[in-house]
Structure 1
Amino acid sequence: MIEQVDNANRSRIGVDVGGTKIEAVRLDASGLVCESARIPARPGNEAVIEDIVSAAARVCGGDFQHVSSIGIGTPGRVDHRTGHVDNIVNLSVTSLDMGPLVEACTGVATHVENDVNAAALGAAAVLGGTQGLPGTVAFLNFGTGLAAGLVQDGAVLHGFSGAAGEVGHIPVEPHRFKCPCGQYGCLETVCSGSAVARLWPEADPAMPDLIRRARKRESKAVDVLDMVVRAIGDTIQIVAQSVDPDVIVLGGGMAKTGKPLVEVITSELRRREGQCRFLAGLDLPGRLRLAPLDRPVGAIGAAVAV
């Protein structure tokens, strides 16, 4: 009985590994953030492990005895079963037993999850309160790349090989730009944050300026925005018709554009509905939500990942 009480009072730590920073949170027994910390990220295997452990230690005062679990959300190819990670390009990591090494340093059970999946869990938790959002949640990460995190009743949908949600590399975009993955016409080549910056290099960040100038009917801006928003519409439609989520959360750097981004996406989806009774019945605009950008959803999601 005493052990059960102790476990109930233990907290969980979540760590979000990024290309430039590592952010950690500690959740109390009720799932609320009670501590947070952020440190710069350094490249290399040893530095990444040291920094994850350091960030985690900061949110628990260096005392891991009262921590029940550590969750890590990271870029790269993640084997969530073993905690092994390959190819974190921005941190010069090609192969790393991240989970086992962090667990060895802290003595705490450690789980590693893809960063978009972790953000999907975090967004579902924040938007839905302590119980999370019910049903299926699709988190579309319009960041440097493009990917979706899929959560069903609080659990990540990984698929057979862990590739569920990799919509950015579906080669259906008609301009057929070369993608770093080797294909041509991947959705990521047009509607990721890096793609928009390439297509509209006149401002940083690109998306707010692109929308503003397109609304002024500047022809070049209109053409580029049309290309980007059509690809976003394709992405949303592919995800919606594949997994039929209750909620579609827009996240990543492009989502910082906020309401203007939702407005142009909604306009594109309504245009499609006007041509297709089937789509009109799905009411995809009604399912859209913006990710809570003022909350560390990546770290929160890592903490609740199992």
Structure 2
Amino acid sequence: MNEYVGIDIGGTKIEAVLVDERNTVLNTCRIPARPGAQNVLDDVIGITRRLGGEPVAVGVGLPGQVDSVTGVVRDIVNLDIVKLELGREASKALGIPVQVENDVNAAALGAVALIDDQVSAGDTVVFLNFGTGLAAGVVRDGHVERGYSGSYGEIGHIPVDPNKFLCNCGQRGCLETVTSGGSVAKLWPGQPPLPDLIEKAKAGEPRAMEVYGIVQHGLADTIQVVGQAYDPKLIVLGGGMAKTGRPLLDMIVEEMRRREETSHFITSLHLPERLRLAPVEQPIGAIGAALAAPRD
């Protein structure tokens, strides 16, 4: 039975898995991420060898501009990478094919695999990554949707939030400015931010209630954008904020139910019923990267 390696590269850590053809995890490894193109290349090679086994292919998920055809990655600010021909160089060193994929797309594949019992052939599933930023990975009939320019799923930069906070992209009012983990930490610098915000808001603290309302409204807007633009069977909530668990889900559903009270159209979409929490206790990104590895 063939074995595959999946590697999830973040700004602070690299997580890798060795899986078989049934996506059963045979081994795992985690190391700190090191900035610099050569370091990232060396770490991809090193962690693959450390996992052991006899992998026939490798998949790597990472942020930045990723060309999944050429294996070239660009502009990964947190890792100090301007350009790296990761696919070609890692494949040459390891002697096996290496597929490079956007990290959110990889996580989307991993999430679908881990909730496989709820997904049928032909279904569309959207994975929402509430991390430092906000982005969506769209999986249709088991395959990642990419679009024309590589910006498919960049819903975090849709400028619809009425607060009009300045976004790093240069626009104002982007969804990312009120719904990402990074933005919530700025709006409510608690420890950890979202659980603390929810607790304080439920206790009636005025400023917490104000921020809670801002974030809740943005989260519901995000779900509506996804529901109406992609019409997926499931919307899976992932990323760092998803570790909040059920309170995050409740926060969104509460606002969606409010909107349903005044709109038959919103009620007819049944969006709350489509929401799922990603199994964040599992290495979703690395498993998804393994699924992205070339398979005969």
Shorter chain as denominator, the TM-score bin is over 0.9
Q: Tell me whether 1:48 sits opposite 2:36 in the alignment.
A: no
TM-score norm. by structure 1 comes to 0.93
Q: Tell me whether 1:189 sits opposite 2:177 in the alignment.
A: yes
Taking every aligned residue pair, what percent have the same amino acid on both sides?
53
Number of residue pairs matched?
Answer: 292
Structure 2 equivalent of residue 25 of structure 1:
17
Q: Tell me whether 1:77 sits opposite 2:65 in the alignment.
A: yes
Structure 1 equivalent of residue 202 of structure 2:
215
Q: Which one of 75, 79, 96 corresponds to residue 108 of structure 1?
A: 96
Residues 93 and 133 of structure 1: CA distance in aligned 2, closer, same or farther (over 3 Å): farther
SS in 1 for 2:60: strand
Structure 1 equivalent of residue 111 of structure 2:
123
Deviation, structure 1 residue 29: 2.4
Off by >3 Å, runs of 4+ in structure 1? 131-134
> What is the alpha-carbon distance in structure 1 between the residues aligned to residue 232 and residue 15 of structure 2?
29
Residues 108-187 of structure 1: pairs in structure 2 closer than 5 A: 108-128=96-116, 134=121, 135-187=123-175
Is the CA contact 1:132–1:154 (under 8 Å) kept in the aligned structure 2? no
Q: Structure 2 regions of 5+ residues with no counterpart?
A: none
CA deviation profile, 1:146-203 (whole Å, cap 9, x unmatched): 00010011100010111111000011111111111111111111110010000001x1
> What is the alpha-carbon distance in structure 2 between the residues aligned to residue 82 and residue 272 of structure 1?
45
CA deviation profile, 1:56-99 (whole Å, cap 9, x unmatched): 111125xxxx3221000001111111111111111101111111
TM-score norm. by structure 2 comes to 0.96
Structure 1 equivalent of residue 191 of structure 2:
204
Residues 42 and 133 of structure 1: CA distance in aligned 2, closer, same or farther (over 3 Å): farther
Structure 1 equivalent of residue 280 of structure 2:
293
> What is the alpha-carbon distance in structure 2 between the residues aligned to residue 173 and residue 105 of structure 1?
47
> What is the alpha-carbon distance in structure 2 between the residues aligned to residue 204 and residue 133 of structure 1?
39
Structure 1 equivalent of residue 225 of structure 2:
238
SS in 1 for 2:70: coil
Deviation, structure 1 residue 218: 1.1
> What is the alpha-carbon distance in structure 1 between the residues aligned to residue 109 and residue 20 of structure 2?
17
Letter in 1 for 2:27: E
Deviation, structure 1 residue 217: 1.4
> What is the alpha-carbon distance in structure 2 between the residues aligned to residue 188 and residue 30 of structure 1?
36
Structure 2 equivalent of residue 275 of structure 1:
262
> What is the alpha-carbon distance in structure 2 between the residues aligned to residue 263 and residue 30 of structure 1?
34
Q: Tell me whether 1:93 sits opposite 2:81 in the alignment.
A: yes
CA RMSD across the alignment: 1.2
Is the CA contact 1:137–1:246 (under 8 Å) kept in the aligned structure 2? yes
Structure 2 equivalent of residue 5 of structure 1:
none
> What is the alpha-carbon distance in structure 2 between the residues aligned to residue 303 and residue 29 of structure 1?
10
Deviation, structure 1 residue 249: 0.5
Deviation, structure 1 residue 122: 0.2
> What is the alpha-carbon distance in structure 2 between the residues aligned to residue 23 and residue 55 of structure 1?
9
> What is the alpha-carbon distance in structure 2 between the residues aligned to residue 256 and residue 31 of structure 1?
23
Is the CA contact 1:126–1:132 (under 8 Å) kept in the aligned structure 2? no
Deviation, structure 1 residue 133: 5.6
